[in-house]
Structure 1
Amino acid sequence: MINNDVLRSIRYMLDLSDNKVIEVIQLADPGFAIDKDDVRAFLLREDEPGYQACTDRVMAHFLDGLVIHRRGRDESLPPRPVEKRINNNVVLKKLRVAFQLTDVDMHKAFADAGFPVSRPELSALFRQPGHKNFRLCGDQLLRNFLKGLTLRVRGR
């Protein structure tokens, strides 16, 4: 899925303002420079003037900041390195951590979106890429998870 779509979905889900999106991004790295114009450009549709693609670096900072925003910072651990490449599996993992979701919660989110997923399918998404049962998370799967999670967070 395009990073801009993920950012747009999460922003809607949590009803975040542009300033709050910047705050969340800077939770992961206070020195990371981003301003309101950048955020607005990320939130535009591809065909709108001023659209700017959200880079993997920005998305990684946003997802890490979201984990800190939702769960708090663990001062006993060193800061995690920021992901270099973001794919749908990484987004799914970060959202699972940020929202403290169990397998049951994940299955419910998929079911709420009208897209039930089996236990083996779900566990394959969280395996290491070299594992024989690893499965890439497709755009449709992530889109439906975001839809189900939005229904859970915002209500129907």
Structure 2
Amino acid sequence: MDNDQLREKVTSDIMANYRDLNSPDFHWVQPKYLSNPYKDTISKIVKIGFDVIEETDLNEDVSVNLFLRKDDINYFLRLSLIGRYAIIFRHDREYGDRVVSQIDIRDTPMLQSLAEILVDDAINIIEQPIAETPIRLNLFNTDMDKATFYNALFSDEPFPGKTGFQ
């Protein structure tokens, strides 16, 4: 799927869940989370050697938020409750968090293994240009004019690696 098709699919899934961008419906979040839609995916991630800690906060997150650690390298993995979408961040205290790119995945065996699990489970990996796509969605913390696919798919908090609310 190319980026334009992915943007169309993401937009469609956002509309299907929130129903109205000006007055979004959030009633679906908790039941979807409680259905544990990523249980099998998380088990597979553990099997390849990642330590996994869930850090989901349903006051801000519309995703399952996981802290992953392997070989002293830390990642954040967000698995969207909107649809089958994931975003991966490399966590670095010195340089800050940054979105993992396809080049990072290609060049890093542990990320290749993680990406294979996501792809095998029909989960689209969202890269930074897609995550930063604007969408006029009325959220609690993020200004409607500054909301992005990241906020709609994953969390109503600042994009990791950026400071302050958008």
TM range (shorter): under 0.3
The structure whose RCO (Cα within 8 Å, separation 6+) is larger is 1
Higher strand share: 2
Higher helix share: 1
Q: TM-score, normalization: structure 1?
A: 0.28
Q: TM-score, normalization: structure 2?
A: 0.27
